[in-house]
Amino acid sequence: MSAPAPSGTTPAGDVGGPVGGAATPLTPVMVALKLSLLRNGLRQSAKRRAVYLASVVVVLLFAVLQLAGLVALRGSAHATTIGVLLVAVLALGWAVLPLFFPSGDETLDPTRLVMLPLHPRPLVRALLAASLVGIGPLFTLCLVVGSAIALAHGAAAAAVAVPAVLLALLVCVALARAVAAANIRLLTSRRGRDLAVLSGLIIAVGIQVVNFSAQKLGTAGLGKLDPLADVVRWIPPASALGAVDSIGDGAYLSGAVQLALTLVALVVLLYLWQNSITRLMTSPDGSTLDASGGGRQRAGRGVGLARLLPEGRLGAAMERTLRYVWRDPKTKAAWVTSLTIGLIVPVFNALQNSGSVYFACFASGMLGIQMYNQFGQDGSAFWIVATTVSAPREALLELRGRAQALILITVPYATLVTLVTTALVGGWNRLPEVLGLSYGLLGALLATGAWSSARFPYSIPREGYKNVAPGQSGLAGISIVGGMAASALLCSPLLGATLWLHLSGAGDWGWVLLPLGALYGTAATVVGLRLAAPCMARRLPEILTAVTVG
């Protein structure tokens, strides 16, 4: 571990030490606290321990491989570029990650220490030391050391590399803490928690972007990055590595300036962090602040939306469903995922020249799934629906409202995706039949989704990343897998008709499938909703109990 961690020192011994001494006893206490928290967290469950150990092994393996790669890079023409940019990317990661994973480290939440008589300066020092304990800093250290080895040429450069590596590591850690402390209001507020739910998606998209850029670089060559590296080598903490390189080249003045820049950055970050902590510890936390400023503008938009929708229960259910797509973080994450995957799969397949027009059905498939577990999405707020439904007629209106809200988004989107895919793949003569299949599939999913929402509801926990409450995963499995199988079965007449048309050489008649699929989908939806409504009306208390768990 990179930390100066005297794990044998007990907190009690330090507290009892000389208080007036310049060397504050707080640092070992905080480091010990961090280690205890880590240990106790792992003690809670074997599963967690296994996951942690596995992640340590993976991270270490990755770090060692990177280290070996960087060492091997030594002497290569692009060593400087890669080393400098790698540290810059690491620093960026440190700056961004605390925004998405705010609860990672309890020792870093200054509001937990607010009752203790601590001075800001020793506190920041102690917290900085504590935040050096962990997998993240270790991983960073490995990469920074690797970069330094790849860059350092000559004794002078090697000598400078030691403080440079330490400075770079400290700047990374201090940057993360300064950003987290400055944004703790956001992170403890409702909006911050909403943000966290979307983080998985952002990371997934980020990986795609990185993947894409890496492929581009692979074809264009690393030389493209040299101008960027020339700038980045002056920006802390990459400037620390820049200093090692400059001194290796004999540019001692540049090297000194770059090292000084890194040091100044560290001091500034620590100063900002200390200020944030002092301010945080003496002001109310996010939960007591008025989180909503922009409420006024919303009113007008709502009225406009409402005017276009039908009167009564049908319109009310549609309106609320549509509002929740945008406003509820879990629902939003599910929708954004479905919309993205529904577009990416057919389009990327088409771009790689391996695609088929039929992949366009993915869009309506992914969006149709949103009809599943409708009431789980409501959570315990379902009681409002339950107290106002007393007959199958009202249940039907409720289900119809939700299905129509879904159709309002899905049909245009699926049509658009099908058009785009066809444009990329070619073969416009197949467009009508793919559209027909899409609509048929959507109808089947809406029908089975409505029925399984009423028959197999399960709870979606509000907080965290899980989409199924503990103990209900079997139920969720039945609901989704069974529903998919039933939908596929429901679609089989359409699929059969498509196959028959092509096999019998009557491919020119493919357009028949458009009206046929649309009709079939509509009929399936209508019948499905009518079958689901009495089931929902009968099972209201059971549904409420099921979706209130967790």
Partner 1 sequence: MAAEGPVAAEERAAGEEPEAAVRIRSLWKRFGEQIAVAGIDLTLPAGRFIGLVGPNGAGKTTTLSMITGLLRPDQGTVEVVGRDVWSDPADVKSRIGVLPEGLRMFERLSGRELLTYTGRLRGLPTAEVDKRAAQLLDVLGLSGSQHKLVVDYSTGMRKKIGLACALLHNPEVLFLDEPFEGVDPVSAQTIRKVLERYTASGATVVFSSHVMELVESLCDWVAVLAAGRIRAQGPLDEVRGDAPSLQAAFLELVGVRGDDAETSLDWLGGGTR
* CA–CA distance, 97 with 59 (Å, rounded to integer): 16
Work out whether 295 is an interface residue with partner 1 (CB under 8 A): yes
Q: What are φ and ψ of residue 330, in 5° steps? A: -65, -45
DSSP-assigned states of every residue in 441-492: HHHHHHHHHHHHHHHS-----SSSS-SS-TT-HHHHHIIIIIHHHHHHHHHH
Number of residues that bind partner 1 (CB under 8 A): 41
Measured distance between the N- and C-terminal CA atoms of the chain, rounded to whole angstroms: 38
Query: What minimum distance in Å lies between the beta carbon of 472 and partner 1?
Result: 16
| Centroid of chain to Cα 436 | 34
CA dihedral 490, 494, 498, 504 (to 10 degrees): 100
Query: What minimum distance in Å lies between the beta carbon of 302 and partner 1?
Result: 6
Task: List the one residue from 226, 230, 285, 542 that touches partner 1 (CB under 8 A).
Answer: 542
CA dihedral 144, 149, 152, 158 (to 10 degrees): 90
Work out whether 550 is an interface residue with partner 1 (CB under 8 A): no
Task: List the one residue from 236, 379, 432, 449 that touches partner 1 (CB under 8 A).
Answer: 379
Residue 243 · residue 258 · CB < 8 Å: yes
Work out whether 36 is an interface residue with partner 1 (CB under 8 A): no
Cis peptide before 310 (omega within 30 of 0): no
Query: Which residue matches tokens 């350092």?
Result: 152
Closest listed residue to residue 198, CA positions, set 55, 327, 322: 327
Work out whether 455 is an interface residue with partner 1 (CB under 8 A): no
Task: List the one residue from 103, 215, 387, 429 that touches partner 1 (CB under 8 A).
Answer: 387
Find the part of the chain contacting partner 1 (CB under 8 A) among 66-74, 160-168, 238-246, 304-312. 304-312
Nearer to partner 1, 116 or 155 (CB): 116
* CA–CA distance, 132 with 174 (Å, rounded to integer): 10
Nearer to partner 1, 131 or 377 (CB): 377
* CA–CA distance, 126 with 30 (Å, rounded to integer): 6
Residue 229 · residue 252 · CB < 8 Å: no
Work out whether 535 is an interface residue with partner 1 (CB under 8 A): no
Find the part of the chain contacting partner 1 (CB under 8 A) among 137-145, 238-246, 284-292, 450-458. 284-292
Task: List the one residue from 30, 446, 540, 546 that touches partner 1 (CB under 8 A).
Answer: 540
Work out whether 114 is an interface residue with partner 1 (CB under 8 A): no
DSSP, collapsed to helix, strand or coil, labels residue 221 as coil
DSSP, collapsed to helix, strand or coil, labels residue 407 as helix
Query: What minimum distance in Å lies between the beta carbon of 368 and partner 1?
Result: 23
Q: Which residues contact 227 (CB under 8 A, 6 or more apart)?
A: none
* CA–CA distance, 148 with 285 (Å, rounded to integer): 41
* CA–CA distance, 520 with 513 (Å, rounded to integer): 10
Closest listed residue to residue 4, CA positions, set 126, 105, 90: 126
Query: What minimum distance in Å lies between the beta carbon of 387 and partner 1?
Result: 5
Considering only residues 175 to 204 of the shown chain, the ones binding partner 1 according to CB under 8 A are 190
Question: How far, in Å, are 305, 310, 315, 388 from residue 320 at the CA level?
Answer: 11, 13, 8, 15
Find the part of the chain contacting partner 1 (CB under 8 A) among 258-266, 295-303, 340-348, 445-453. 295-303
Find the part of the chain contacting partner 1 (CB under 8 A) among 151-159, 271-279, 316-324, 487-495. 316-324
Work out whether 545 is an interface residue with partner 1 (CB under 8 A): yes
> What stretches of 287-311 show up as alpha helix (H) in DSSP?
295-308
- Structure letter (DSSP) for residue 427: -
Work out whether 515 is an interface residue with partner 1 (CB under 8 A): no
Work out whether 245 is an interface residue with partner 1 (CB under 8 A): no
Nearer to partner 1, 335 or 362 (CB): 335
Task: List the one residue from 5, 96, 281, 316 that touches partner 1 (CB under 8 A).
Answer: 316
Considering only residues 68 to 97 of the shown chain, the ones binding partner 1 according to CB under 8 A are none
Question: How far, in Å, are 153, 501, 527 from residue 442 at the CA level?
Answer: 64, 22, 14
Nearer to partner 1, 457 or 517 (CB): 457
Work out whether 531 is an interface residue with partner 1 (CB under 8 A): no
Nearer to partner 1, 92 or 306 (CB): 306
Considering only residues 320 to 339 of the shown chain, the ones binding partner 1 according to CB under 8 A are 320, 323-324, 327-328
Nearer to partner 1, 228 or 306 (CB): 306
Nearer to partner 1, 67 or 333 (CB): 333
Residue 318 · residue 221 · CB < 8 Å: no
Work out whether 464 is an interface residue with partner 1 (CB under 8 A): no
Closest listed residue to residue 286, CA positions, set 109, 49, 432: 109
Work out whether 548 is an interface residue with partner 1 (CB under 8 A): yes
Query: What minimum distance in Å lies between the beta carbon of 332 and partner 1?
Result: 10
Task: List the one residue from 319, 404, 435, 475 that touches partner 1 (CB under 8 A).
Answer: 319
Closest listed residue to residue 82, CA positions, set 208, 209, 215, 233: 233
Work out whether 290 is an interface residue with partner 1 (CB under 8 A): yes
Query: Which residue matches tokens 């938009």?
Result: 301
Work out whether 541 is an interface residue with partner 1 (CB under 8 A): yes
Query: Which residue matches tokens 């330490």?
Result: 166
Task: List the one residue from 13, 250, 302, 471 that touches partner 1 (CB under 8 A).
Answer: 302
Query: What minimum distance in Å lies between the beta carbon of 195 and partner 1?
Result: 14
Task: List the one residue from 388, 429, 473, 492 that touches partner 1 (CB under 8 A).
Answer: 388
Q: Which residues contact 470 (CB under 8 A, 6 or more apart)?
A: 550
* CA–CA distance, 333 with 410 (Å, rounded to integer): 16
User: Which residues contact partner 1 by CB under 8 A?
Assistant: 190, 290-292, 295-296, 298-299, 302, 306, 311-313, 315-317, 319-320, 323-324, 327-328, 378-381, 383-391, 540-542, 544-545, 548
